[in-house]
Amino acid sequence: MNIPADLYVIDTSVVVKWFVQEADSDQAEKLRKQYQAGAMVLVAPDLMPVELANALYFSRQFTADEVSRIVKQVKVDLLIETTTPGLIEAAIRWMFRFHTAIYDLIFLALAQELQAKSITADAQFLKRLADGQTPDVTGLVQSLNTF
């Protein structure tokens, strides 16, 4: 795969902000507009649409039909990558190192595999990474509010 320099792995915490108004939603929308204008490539693991549906449900702002429509559209709009056994293995190792959910780490593992940065709005996840950061994760993740 030819990897463009402007490739980013986008995590669910950012995509949710496209549909649910919350802190940093304006920054998430700015990122989305840059992507739609072709200024960058956004990719996510195939886990993201599942997490998105869950987050939209728990926001209590959408009907089942609306969640289905949003998830289908996001799957068309973004480049979705298959979660491979290699990604799962990397995420398992990081799960034990950073003591955080494997779901979040799949995005980080994809960023490493694609030699890209992951963009997240999850401050707790960023803190856990910062507490145990080592060279293999330095530079792999960026906070949405600094993008």
Domain ranges of the chain: 7-146
Express each pLDDT in 96-143 by its tens digit.
Answer: 988 889 999 999 999 999 999 999 999 888 888 877 666 667 678 889
Domain 7-146 homologous superfamily, CATH: 5'-nuclease (3.40.50.1010)
CA distance 34 to 120: 16
Going by the DSSP 8-state scheme, the letter that residue 128 receives in this structure is H
Two structure tokens written together for 52? 């998105």
Evaluate whether 120 touches 141 at the Cβ level (below 8 Å).
Answer: yes
Q: Positive or negative CA dihedral for 104, 105, 107, 111?
A: positive
Q: For residue 31, what are its two tokens?
A: 């990122």
Q: Where are the alpha helices (DSSP H) in 12-138?
A: 12-16, 25-36, 48-59, 64-77, 85-98, 102-114, 123-131
Which residues fall within 8 angstroms of residue 142, CB to CB, at 6 or more apart? 117, 118, 119, 120
Residue 1 confidence (pLDDT): 47
pLDDT tens sequence across 25-70: 999 999 999 999 999 999 999 999 999 999 999 999 999 999 999 9
Q: pTM for the full model?
A: 0.90
Q: How many CB atoms lie within 10 A of CB 113?
A: 17
